[in-house]
Homo-oligomer: A and B are copies of this chain.
Amino acid sequence: MATKTSPLSGFPELLPAARVVEREVIASLSRTFELHGFANIETRAVEPIDVLLGKGETSKEVYVLERLQKEQGDRQPSDAGVGLHFDLTVPFARYVLEHAGHLEFPFRRFQIQPAWRGERPQEGRYRQFTQADVDIVGRDVLPFHHDVEVMRVMVEALDALPIPPVSFQFNNRKLIQGFYRGLGLPDLETAIRTIDKLDKLPAEKVAELLVSDAGATPEQAQRCLELATIRVSDTSFVERVRALGVEDDLLEEGLTELAAVVEGCAAAAPATVTVEANLRIARGLDYYTGTVVEIFMAGYERLKSVGGGGRYDALASDGRTTYPGVGVSFGVSRSLIPLLADGVLAGSRAVPSAVLVAVTDEDTRDRSDLVAASLRASGVPCEVAASAQKFGKQIRYAERRGIPFVWFVQDDGTHQVKDIRTGDQGEADPATWTPPAEDLRPQVHTKEQPQ
C-alpha cells in the first residue's frame, strides 16, 4: 500500500489527457515511419557499461544498476556492469551486431522508447525522456541516397505532427573537413570544436580561439567564420562556398551531398517544415562522417535542438564487418512536455469514453451494461455510470471527464442520447448509433503558441 508521494525532479509524468497527446504523437510518427517501410524494434533498457562508455565522454550521465540485495543473492554476470541506455543509437548499434545474422541489410528500423540520463533537469532536459529514432544501416556499404531518404522521412513525420513549425538545419562533415583541409588548417578537430562555440561566444572571440587554439592564421580564421555564417534555404550555398576560393575534393563531395539533401527535403517539405543549409552546424565531434542535421522548433529555440542526427560510416563494427548508417532522432519528451505545459497542445478529454451510459437504479445496471456492450460492438468507447445517482449528477460525472454523450435507457425500452455540450437529446438505437467521427476518440487540441 502506497502511503506517500514523492515527486522526482527530472522524471515528468503525464496526466491522462496529456498522455492522449503523447500517444497520438507516437502513433503518428509510427504511421509515417511504417509507410516508408521502417520496421519497429525495441531494445532492452540496459546495456553493459563498456558498451555505454564506448563514446567516452558521456560516462557521467549513465545510471548504473545494482541489485538491492546482491550480497545475499547468487551473483550473475548481468548483475554487475549494466546501466540504463542514455540514447537509442548505442543500443541500436549493439542490436545490429548481436542480431546481424537474422537481419536483412540495408536494415530500416524505427525505435520509440525512453532513455535515461543522470544530468541536472531543466526545461526540455529530463532524467527519463522518450525519443523517436529512425535509421537505415547497411552492411559494408550504404548508398548516399539513403541520407536523403531518411531525412525526408523525418521531414514528413514531423510535418504530420500537431506541433509548431520545425526547421531542419543541415550541414555535411565532409564539407567542413574538406574546407578546413583545403584552407590548410593544421588542426581540424580543434577547429571544428571551436566553430561549434559560435552559438555561445561572439564571432570575434571564436576567431581569436581559432588562432590561439587551432593554429589558424587570422586570415584562415576569417574564412572559417565566413563559411559558418552561410545559411540559406536552397542550394545557393554551393556558389557562396566556392566564392570563398577553397579547393578540395572532400569539400566538393560534401557540397554535392548537402545540395542533394537540401533539395530532396525541400521537395518533400510542406508548409510547417523549413529546410536550410546552415554551415555552422557540426554536432560536436561525435561519430558523424557526412550529413549532419539539427532540428529546431519555432518559438522554442530556448530548448536548443529538438532533434538531430546524421551519417556515420561506422555505426558498428565487429572487426570483420562494418555497418555504416544514417539516421535522425526526434525528442518526443523534449518537445512535448514544454508544449503541454504551455497549453499549446492538450487532449480533448481524459478518458477514451465517448458515451456515459446512465444507470437508473442498481437493479437495472444490467440493462445499461447491455447498451454499453452494443455500443462497443460498433466500436464506440463507453462506460457505465459508477453509481445510480440522480441523472443531473451522472451528467456532471460525464462533464468532469469530458465525455460528450450521456445515454438513458427508458422504462418503456426506448433509448435517449444527450449531447451534454449542446443539450440536444433524441431517441437512438444502441445497435446502430455512433457519435460524429470527431467525438469518437479523444482529439489533440492545439492553440497558437505564446510569443
Chain A interface residues toward B at CB < 8 A: 1-16, 19-20, 23, 34-51, 54, 59-70, 72-74, 76-79, 82-84, 90, 93-99, 102-104, 106, 108-109, 114, 116, 118, 120, 127-128, 138, 143, 145-146, 149, 287, 312, 314-319, 350-353, 362, 365, 376, 379-384, 386-387, 397, 400-401, 441
Q: Is the CB of A64 within 8 A of B62?
A: no
Q: Is the CB of B3 within 8 A of A316?
A: yes
Q: Is the interface of A mostly helix, strand, loop or mixed?
A: mixed
Q: Is the CB of B90 within 8 A of A2?
A: yes
Of all A-B residue pairs in the complex, the 3 with the closest CB atoms, nearest first, are A37-B383, A2-B93, A37-B353
Q: Is the CB of B11 within 8 A of A46?
A: yes
Known contacts A19-B42, A66-B63, A146-B386: A120-B1 contact under CB 8 Å: no
18 A-B pairs (CB sep. < 8 Å): A2-B90, A2-B93, A2-B317, A4-B50, A5-B98, A5-B318, A8-B48, A9-B77, A13-B41, A15-B41, A16-B39, A16-B109, A34-B352, A35-B382, A37-B352, A60-B67, A104-B397, A146-B386
**Which residue among A39, A138, A315 has the maximum number of chain B CB atoms within 10 Å of its CB?**
A39
Q: Which residues of B sit under 8 angstroms from A5, Cβ to Cβ?
A: 94, 97-98, 318
Q: Is the CB of B76 within 8 A of A69?
A: no
Q: Which residue of B lies closest to A141 (CB)?
A: B387
- Minimal beta-carbon separation of A227 from chain B (angstroms): 28
Distance A348 CA – B350 CA, assembled complex (angstroms):
35
Q: Is the CB of A314 within 8 A of B84?
A: no
Distance A61 CA – B67 CA, assembled complex (angstroms):
7
Cross-interface CB contact of A41 among B9, B16, B61, cutoff 8 Å? B16
Q: Is the CB of A82 within 8 A of B23?
A: no
- Minimal beta-carbon separation of A35 from chain B (angstroms): 4
Q: Is the CB of A54 within 8 A of B386?
A: no
Q: Which residues of B sit under 8 angstroms from A318, Cβ to Cβ?
A: 3-5
Q: Which residues of B sit under 8 angstroms from A312, Cβ to Cβ?
A: 1
Distance A106 CA – B352 CA, assembled complex (angstroms):
14
Known contacts A11-B78, A68-B59, A73-B60: A51-B6 contact under CB 8 Å: yes
Q: Which residues of B sit under 8 angstroms from A4, Cβ to Cβ?
A: 50-51, 97, 318
Q: Which residues of B sit under 8 angstroms from A400, Cβ to Cβ?
A: 104
Q: Which residues of B sit under 8 angstroms from A73, Cβ to Cβ?
A: 60, 118
Q: Is the CB of B386 within 8 A of A67?
A: no
Distance A145 CA – B362 CA, assembled complex (angstroms):
10
Distance A67 CA – B86 CA, assembled complex (angstroms):
12
Distance A36 CA – B69 CA, assembled complex (angstroms):
41
Q: Which residue of B lies closest to A83 (CB)?
A: B68
- Minimal beta-carbon separation of A230 from chain B (angstroms): 27
